Amino acid sequence: MNEGRRPATSTDVARRAGVSQSAVSRAFTPGASIAEETRRKVEEAARALGYRPNAIARSLTTRRSRIIGMAAAYLQNQFYPEVLEAMSRGLRARGYQLLLLMPEHGRHADPLLEEVMAWQVDGLILASTTLSSALAEQCRQAGIPVLLFNRTTSTAHVSSVTGENHRGGQRIADLLVAGGHRRFGFVAGIENSSTSQERERGFTEGLARHGFDLPARAVGSYSFEAASAAARNLLARADRPDAIFCANDHMAIAVAEVARHEFGLRIPEDLALVGFDDTAPAKWRSYALTSFSQPLQPMVDAAVALVCEMIENPAAPTRQAVVPGELVMRASTRLPESGWLDRDGQRIWRGHESG
Amino acid sequence: MNEGRRPATSTDVARRAGVSQSAVSRAFTPGASIAEETRRKVEEAARALGYRPNAIARSLTTRRSRIIGMAAAYLQNQFYPEVLEAMSRGLRARGYQLLLLMPEHGRHADPLLEEVMAWQVDGLILASTTLSSALAEQCRQAGIPVLLFNRTTSTAHVSSVTGENHRGGQRIADLLVAGGHRRFGFVAGIENSSTSQERERGFTEGLARHGFDLPARAVGSYSFEAASAAARNLLARADRPDAIFCANDHMAIAVAEVARHEFGLRIPEDLALVGFDDTAPAKWRSYALTSFSQPLQPMVDAAVALVCEMIENPAAPTRQAVVPGELVMRASTRLPESGWLDRDGQRIWRGHESG
DNA sequence: CCGGGCCTTGCATGCGTATGCAAGGCTAGC
DNA sequence: GCTAGCCTTGCATACGCATGCAAGGCCCGG
């Protein structure tokens, strides 16, 4: 064993095993042509020297880094850490490492991503971050697959994985109307985020279908503080909403706190509350938040599969994958008065979904 | 602009700028000897070709990857995502990238870390993950600095950054005793985690100093589900505790849910509850959890500084940094009956701390 | 017994950048 | 005007590994 010295190289192993450096390389390359006997000798020498192939050097010759960059704007919303965790495991299972990129608060992710291109990442996953069309074009030229996660973009033709934002918003409208609510509120995420826009559009369209007005709205910017302020705004109105849909669970919890502890409202008696994502805190019984789910593992699996596919076949057309979710009813909303049906002994709320 | 071709190399830039490849390299190396005029020509050519130095190739020659691997066992506990976020930004500010490592559930991190050594990472930060002494030795030989975050280890001489686990436990004991509680419970994290052990030891020693017994204890393994089970266990006892200290906030919230919704207990009237970390959910008013803080930014700053220092000076002795926290009192515990003092017009609870 | 073909191996080279070394140009001082 | 010395530059090479190519060995069929 060498002490503090530089790590053993394939040449060191070759010398010790009495073979050529190429043989060592082949011994560590699955599927390479090498005799069983030679491989054994190499492996023995490698073990004795504590040798591991240098991934940096390997990347240089193969021109594939087996690194995927993943950008996320913030991790306060529980949804993202869980995505990150699953993504890291999922990518690793396919032999990729995950490089984590957190843009500075309030800054655009572009400079960060550009920096990461120096790392020759094999792919880029953008969660809760948009991609400027300039950078998208740059990636396309560099042949770096880009995948938007929980976002889409209109400015460029990019692949994406999202939940059923539009349908989710509709279902929530259906549920709230069926629960007998009449004055609706919406707390938006970041204004120009496609996710928030689609959820809102589904919601307002759903309401309109039942003959209800556009809801009162306020902007929560996906942050706890801004959502709290939005809640104060909405709840102080003369025509206070009796049902509020928040663009995600994280903001819904902020609204719940303000409603209960600043306005003394009971949920759902005085105010129904719905979120989106169905994250862990939504399940905590102090909130028991009704939420439209974005199933974590399926979404991550789809993302991993898609990005790998894009790497293997760069010429493939872009794809927009939509992972189905479902409305998870909990105690933060009243049960609907109608629209129930029995299936396999379970009581399912079908609602008035026309689709 | 080249379409879909391989990215421009320093040689391409050199040719276009009419200089040698070395000149291009020097133009991108801060502090290298190069004429202003030449640098200008190189920069112009580089811009025209969309050139960025290849970090992989650079790492190969410089023998420094500027990548730091960070392992975390789980991200459910809000503490870790926030650490991750701050760590990524902090490292980036010093020119390092963060490679995220999530061991498979229930598996040891060793194989993962070994795999990452192939990436020639410049350093390794282990959060909520232990390091086998075998691997620690291997890292030492390879000259890879290792930093334990929110953990220590007795089996090897390794640097670490932690909060005031022992003192925190003591303070909590002081607070609960001062609040008039008499039957104490403790929910441990993973049994062999130094963090949980130290907090428990501080707690029991603190209690003992006031003449109280070792508390009833149960194991929550840092998970929500296990902590819920632990709570059921503790709360079903004939001598039900009237105060429970949980080794972290995440588990404390699980206990709060069970206490309220399964046992109909009021907090803090029937049961006082204390956590550790002072994460975001502890501040949510539905919990208003008293907690001993682990200040995020100072801990991360210390970790980043320490790991960089270790990289620059590999021969430096290991260090155990302890970042001071404070007891944050909220509504989940009764206010203590004594021990208050005025300072600068603020009412400070000094407690009976002897240290 | 001979030849074709497959398996295995080593040689040589390339991946893109950094850097020691020596040469050349230029400035300043005498 | 000459030389010492600094600044700048290019050349050559190294970093550690993968891989095309050709040579050698072996087996098997004819």
Q: Which residues of A touch B286 (CB under 8 A)?
A: 256-257, 260-261, 286-287
B349 vs A14, which has greater pLDDT? A14
B214 interfacial to chain A (CB closer than 8 Å): no
**A283: which strand partners?**
none
| Mean predicted confidence (pLDDT) in A153-168 | 90
A345 pLDDT higher than 90: no
Burial of B99 (0-12, 13-18, 19+ CB in 10 A): buried
| Distance (Å, whole) CA B334 – CA B182 | 13
pLDDT classification of A2: cutoffs 50, 70, 90: very low
pLDDT of res. B3: 47
Residues 271-290 of chain B in contact with strand C via CB under 7 angstroms: none
pLDDT score for A338 = 72
Inter-chain Cβ pairs, chain A and chain B, closer than 8 A? 136
Q: Which nucleotides of C are covered by protein (CB under 7 A)?
A: 7-12, 14-20
- The answer to whether B82 contacts chain A (CB < 8 Å) is yes
A116 has a chain B CB within 8 A of its CB: yes
Alpha carbon of B167: minimum distance to chain A alpha carbons (Å): 28
Q: Give the confidence band of A216 by pLDDT, cuts at 50, 70, 90.
A: very high
Give the pairing type, strands A340-343 and A216-219.
Answer: unpaired
Give residue A317's pLDDT: 92
Other CB atoms within 10 A of residue B331 CB: 14
Which positions in chain A touch B89 (Cβ < 8 Å)?
Answer: 102, 104
Partners of A260 on chain B (C-beta within 8 Å) are: 285-286
CA of B10 to C1' of D5 (A): 31
Tell me how far CA of residue A33 lies from CA of A28, A30, A53, B202, in angstroms. Answer: 11, 9, 18, 60
What is the distance between the alpha carbons of residues A125 and A224, in angstroms, rounded to a whole number? 25
Domains, chain A? 10-53 (1.10.260.40), 64-150+296-323 (3.40.50.2300), 165-293+327-349 (3.40.50.2300)
Would the Cβ of B54 be found within 7 angstroms of any atom in strand C?
yes
| Single-letter residue type at A133 | S
- From B279's Cα to the closest Cα of chain A, the distance in A is 10
CA of B281 to C1' of C20 (A): 58
Residue type, A18: G
Q: Backbone dihedral region of A234: left (phi > 0), alpha (psi from -120 to 50 degrees) or beta?
A: alpha
Closest CA to A242 of A218, A215, A276: A215
**Mean pLDDT in each 10-residue stretch from start to end of chain B (355 residues)?**
70 93 92 88 93 95 95 94 96 95 85 88 90 79 91 86 97 94 95 94 96 90 97 95 97 98 96 97 96 97 97 91 95 83 73 56
Spatial separation of the C-alpha atoms in residues A158 and A143, rounded to whole Å: 13
pLDDT score for B352? 62
Listed in sequence order, the residues at least 6 apart from B207 whose beta carbon sits closer than 8 Å to its beta carbon are B173, B177, B184, B213, B214, B215
Length of chain B in terms of residues written: 355
**Nearest nucleotide (C1') to the CA of residue A7?**
D16
Neighbours of B184 (CB within 10 A): 25
Measured CA to CA in angstroms, residue B60 lies from A56, A60, B46, B100 at distances of 6, 8, 22, 21
- Chain A hits for B52, CB-CB cut-off 8 Å, are 114, 117-118
Concatenate the DSSP letters of all residues of A36-74 into one string.
HHHHHHHHHHHHHHT----HHHHHHHHT---EEEEEES-
Q: Straight-line distance from CA B17 to C1' D8, in Å?
A: 16
Residues of B in contact with A288 (CB under 8 A): none
Range with lowest mean pLDDT among A176-190, A330-344, B325-339: A330-344
Residue A184 host element (H or E): strand A184-188
Instruction: Please check whether residue A92 touches B, CB under 8 A.
Output: yes
Chain B residues with CB under 8 Å of A78 CB are 78, 81
Specify the pLDDT at position B5.
65
Residue A355's pLDDT is 42
A209 min Cα distance to partner chain B (Å): 36
Task: Say whether the peptide bond before residue A53 is cis (omega within 30 degrees of 0).
Answer: no
pLDDT of residue A353: 54
Q: A304 near A87, Cβ under 8 Å?
A: yes
CB contact under 8 A, B75 and A54: no
Q: How far, in Å, CA of B286 to CA of B282, rounded?
A: 9
Q: Which of B119, B125, B224, B330 to mutate to test the interface with A (most CBs of A within 10 A)?
A: B119
Q: What is the pLDDT of residues A83-117, one digit of tens each?
A: 999 999 999 999 999 999 999 887 788 888 888 88
Q: What is the pLDDT of residues A247-272, one digit of tens each?
A: 999 999 999 999 999 999 999 999 99
Q: How confident is the model at residue A303 (pLDDT cuts 50, 70, 90)?
A: very high
Name the one residue in this structure whose structure tokens are 């909990």: A330
A146 CB-side CA count, 13 A: 28
Higher confidence at residue A228 or residue A74?
A228
Q: Which pLDDT tens digit goes with each residue over A38-58?
A: 999 999 999 999 999 999 999
By CA distance, what is A80's nearest residue in B?
Answer: B81
The verdict on a CB contact (< 8 Å) between B260 and A285 is: yes
Residues 256-285 of B with CB under 8 A from A: 256-257, 260-261, 280-281, 284-285
What does R_g of chain A's alpha carbons equal in angstroms? Answer: 26
Contact A292, A172 (CB under 8 A): yes
Quickly state the pLDDT bin for A5 (edges 50, 70, 90): low
CB contact under 8 A, B100 and A88: yes
Among A116, A118, A138, A112, smallest CA distance to B10 is for A118
* Residues of chain A found within 8 Å of residue B287, distances taken between Cβ atoms: 286
Q: Which of residues 62-101 of B touch strand C (CB under 7 A)?
A: 62
* Of A216, A211, A219, A228, nearest in space to A185 by CA: A216
Q: Three-state secondary structure along chain B? A: CCCCCCCCCHHHHHHHHCCCHHHHHHHCCCCCCCCHHHHHHHHHHHHHHCCCCCHHHHHHHHCCCCEEEEEECCCCCCHHHHHHHHHHHHHHHCCCEEEEECCCCCCCCHHHHHHHHCCCCCEEEEECCCCCHHHHHHHHHHCCCEEEECCCCCCCCCEEEEECHHHHHHHHHHHHHHCCCCCEEEEECCCCCHHHHHHHHHHHHHHHHCCCCCCEEEECCCCHHHHHHHHHHHHCCCCCCCEEEECCHHHHHHHHHHHHHCCCCCCCCCCEEEEEECCHHHHCCCCCCEEEECCHHHHHHHHHHHHHHHHHCCCCCCCEEEECCCEECCCCCCCCCCCEEEECCEEEECCCCCC
- CB count in 10 Å sphere of residue B20: 14
Q: Is A133 on the interface with B (CB under 8 A)?
A: no
CB < 8 Å from B in window 96-115 of A: 97-102, 104, 112, 114
What's the pLDDT score for residue B353? 54
